[in-house]
Chain A
Amino acid sequence: MLAQLHRVEQSLNQVILGKPEQVRLALCCLLAEGHLLLEDLPGMGKTTLAHALANSLGLSYRRVQFTNDLLPGDLIGMNIYDTRSQQFHFQAGPVFSQVLLADEINRASPKTQSALLEAMEEKQVSVDGETRSLPKPFFVIATQNPLFHAGTSALPESQLDRFMFRLSLGFPDKQAEHLLLQCDSSSSRLELLTEQLSSEQLKQLQAQVPKITASDALLDYLLSLVHASRHRSDMLPLSPRASKAILRAAKAFALINQREFVSASDVQQVFPYVAEHRLDPSSAAQESRLSQLLLQQTPCPI
């Protein structure tokens, strides 16, 4: 199964050129059952990544373009009165898919944002008092434009916290971009992507993540990192949810790297992507100043 996962990774790399690290982290986030926040300038391939992920994993994929007039119902769905049967029946919104691309999430009103975030956390939605569970796996890739862009309302800290990873694809290097230009269009490449891993297999892989060993020594190190963020004025403290997320992410990272245990280096590698947006919500995704500071200042004796 891991082999298939790696084939997924390879095919993704053929679509998202020159970004193997981000691709791997995105997969990692998927395995850890977290949600991914992509922050980039428009046209950097955020949508392509989401789409490619959905395609190669054989997951149902929906995309919602968030605007400031998008209502929660547009996202979740609503009960509609059917005149023929004279009954209300539920019209599922785009949230009922396995991969949801929430494009430009910071353009939507806080109300809609929070509706999505609730769905992300609970993996279920309630409409008119009726609870409906979302499909499994449920993976949200949200993109946001940098905050200084016009017409954006920033995600509050509490909601940023619900994204396990925040990534930035960034500009491709020259060589990759050259290759990109050589090909006709990325969309044609996208269509080439076939299903490499069934959703069942993905679920199994996700189930393996918690079983990855994390020794006491490793947990001690992780906690020393997290604790270093607390009682400081220059950053927001990392919550227990954050430490859980770090551990989960590190476990998934270890699984992708075909190891049965989490190492300190796993923690160090995922830490900036998991922690930075929690330490400083206003920071840009490209930078990871505070998390790097923590990594530098926390000794790792093991």
Chain B
Amino acid sequence: MLERKPLLLLWSGIQLSLLLLLNQAFALWVSAVFAVLMLYRLLTVFKARRAVSLGLVNILAGVIALAFFLQIKQSGVLHFMLQILLLAATARLLALQHLYEARQLVWVHYFLIASCFILHQDMFVAVIVLSVLFANLYSHYRLFSVATAKINWLQTGRAALIILPLWLGMFLLFPRLPPFWQIPNTKAATTGLSDSLDPGSIEQLVQDDSPAFRVEFTSALPAREQLYWRARLYEDFDGRSWQVNTSRQYQRGNQITASNELSVSANLTDYSIIAEASHQRGLFALATPVSSSDNVFIAPGGMLSSHKPVSQRVSYQVSSVLAPVVATSAEEQLNLRLAPGNPQTKAFATRLKQQYPDTDKLVQALASYYSQQPFFYSLTPPRLGSNSIDAFLFDSRTGFCSHYASATAVILRQAGIAARVVGGYQGGIWYPEQGYLAVRQREAHAWVEYLHQGAWHRFDPTAFVAPERILNNLDSMLPEQERALLNSGWRQFKLLQTLRQQFMHLDYYWSVWVLGFNDNEQRELWRSIRRHLHLLGYTLLLISVIAVAALALYLARARHDKTLPAAAKLLYQHLAPLLSTKQPQQPVSVFLQGCMAKYPQYSPLLSDIKSLYDKALYQNDASALAQLKVELKQHRRQLRRLHRAIKNA
């Protein structure tokens, strides 16, 4: 049976797609090794060569497994296990000879297919994984079926329909168990804002159209100027780049309380966020988050953080007060530290401080300085020298939000005002029909927070240089050629963009309804079921009454049908128009005999049908019945022509 080429091809295809799906977990050389093994297998299939001997495959697999083991430090345990599993499948396919081996292979495939969901959760991949699963199911079916058996698609569809309610029920009601074992953390390339901000880092993000997170507001949508999604606090400055103070950012801190002058309950903004996998712990929130769902926590500085790096799409709920974050005493010291260099800036700051001893005034002056002096907003700023802040402020005056934020924070610190750079996202695209806000990587932004009267106030210098950047979006305020840079490639095709947008919406619903259906939601569902129990009772009663009625009807019909033997039923089913011309007392065979004379061109077919029918009906010949069924189905078209002829006659 294993000489069957299609099955071998199918399995090779499944393994290749698994390799592509799991590729993310493999180093380049690992993928290359797998690709070579699989391509060699394909080659042997096409050349109809025998499978590789088991001994050789064992040695080969042993060597490769050892190599995998040696680099376990780099790959991590989880990826190592995935590698070993895929290696087992690939090696097994290389030396496949017996039926039981093929069965093992199919089961390992199932496991590998399921493990794809460790790495991917989006809908597109889910569809691909589903089709790979179907391919594997089909191969499984073929393993146990006889060679001539064909899949009856109608029957398969019916089976799928029957299983659908069960499947939905399982999805909705099956308890969401905590994982039985810990999945080891994976090391993967991080995406989104990083823990270090240097002038170039946001530039790259801005070119990236992929979504960072999506927000659904349970309360009203805040004004666009309020949509500053805080993600990172950059508090350490080394003279060139800003670093996150990791000891603070990801520690569980005291519960943040909103500043007292705000009546907390009235001004709460409730929203839930679905964040894409970033392989970092930092998450997103507006202004001052006061409470959140259990899977995330609020770190000092009002930052949201996940307990573990976000390696899968995560959904969480936050309530924020749209007010400045309250400062702690330690923070002030932390954010007054100065880095050496940038003398011009230092002088400028000192001058400013002398002129405006009041913090409010000073910040206003700085804002008007930005808007009045010829500062330019650009994605392609010139390179800056060693005293980068000096060079930017007094020489090039062309830069991006990170340049402005960085320079502003330095000026404020020089002027004795505690200040820090905040990295995050600004704005987003609001889809009113779908009711959610999509924030893409290109919405990445950096701004400044300064300490004033015990709270961190936001100051966004970019808003004064290029107010449109905040009010509209990036495209509208860039010069022509830079807009072209953003809209290069496929982005210029309208249709593709629309499709992409539609897909994004679909993906959103997938996240909300499928991925977001966690134990909380499930508990909620149970609760609502309990609440509507009486309604449910009536519904069940109604359903059972309908079911009983349907059953009675079915049984009555079945009894009526019972008077007709199977062969006759079959014939009446397929030859109804012809048989309607039969006189009631005439036996079917006699009638068919008459038809053969009446329609000579159909007489061979009718004669076949008649003899099979006689056998099936009068001799209780089951094989003749089956043959009759086949015959009737095969000549459906011819019979249709005959029926048309009868109708015309």
Partner of B619, one of A213, A264, A295: A213
B584 touches A300 (CB 8 A): yes
Residues of B within 8 A of A295 (CB): 585
Interface residues in B196-227 by Cβ distance below 8 A to A read none
A215-B565 contact given A260-B619, A296-B585, A299-B584, CB 8 Å threshold: yes
Give the shortest distance, in Å, between B641 (CB) and chain A (any CB).
Answer: 25
A263 touches B585 (CB 8 A): no
Which one of A69-77, A134-142, A153-161, A216-224 is at the interface? A216-224
| Bound-complex Cα distance A215 to B621 (A) | 10
Interface assignment of B622: CB less than 8 Å from any CB of chain A = no
Interface assignment of B178: CB less than 8 Å from any CB of chain A = no
For A, the interface residue count at a CB cutoff of 8 angstroms equals 23
Give the shortest distance, in Å, between B525 (CB) and chain A (any CB).
Answer: 53
Interface assignment of B122: CB less than 8 Å from any CB of chain A = no
Interface residues in A38-63 by Cβ distance below 8 A to B read none
A264-B589 contact given A213-B620, A215-B620, A302-B565, CB 8 Å threshold: yes
Partner of A263, one of B568, B586, B589: B589
B585 touches A220 (CB 8 A): no
A261 touches B590 (CB 8 A): no
Partner of B585, one of A215, A217, A300: A300
Interface assignment of A124: CB less than 8 Å from any CB of chain B = no
Interface residues in A11-58 by Cβ distance below 8 A to B read none
Interface assignment of A239: CB less than 8 Å from any CB of chain B = no
Interface assignment of A99: CB less than 8 Å from any CB of chain B = no
Interface assignment of B264: CB less than 8 Å from any CB of chain A = no
B618 touches A301 (CB 8 A): no
Interface assignment of B314: CB less than 8 Å from any CB of chain A = no
A216 touches B614 (CB 8 A): no
B618 touches A300 (CB 8 A): no
Chain B: CB-nearest residue to A217? B565
A301-B568 contact given A215-B617, A260-B619, CB 8 Å threshold: yes
| Bound-complex Cα distance A263 to B587 (A) | 8
Residues of A within 8 A of B563 (CB): 220, 301
| Bound-complex Cα distance A299 to B614 (A) | 18
Give the shortest distance, in Å, between A50 (CB) and chain B (any CB).
Answer: 32
Give the shortest distance, in Å, between A105 (CB) and chain B (any CB).
Answer: 34
Interface residues in B599-640 by Cβ distance below 8 A to A read 614-615, 617-620
Interface assignment of B564: CB less than 8 Å from any CB of chain A = yes
B585 touches A265 (CB 8 A): no
Interface residues in B565-590 by Cβ distance below 8 A to A read 565, 567-568, 584-590
A217-B590 contact given A295-B585, A297-B585, A301-B564, CB 8 Å threshold: no
A-B contact pairs, 26 of them (CB 8 A): A213-B619, A215-B565, A215-B618, A215-B620, A216-B565, A217-B617, A217-B618, A218-B618, A220-B563, A221-B587, A261-B615, A261-B619, A263-B618, A264-B587, A265-B587, A265-B590, A268-B590, A295-B585, A296-B585, A299-B585, A300-B586, A300-B587, A302-B564, A302-B565, A302-B588, A302-B617
Besides the contacts A215-B620, A301-B588, A302-B617, what 17 more A-B pairs have beta carbons closer than 8 Å?
Answer: A213-B619, A215-B565, A215-B617, A217-B565, A217-B568, A221-B587, A261-B614, A261-B618, A261-B619, A262-B618, A263-B587, A264-B587, A264-B589, A265-B589, A301-B568, A302-B564, A302-B568
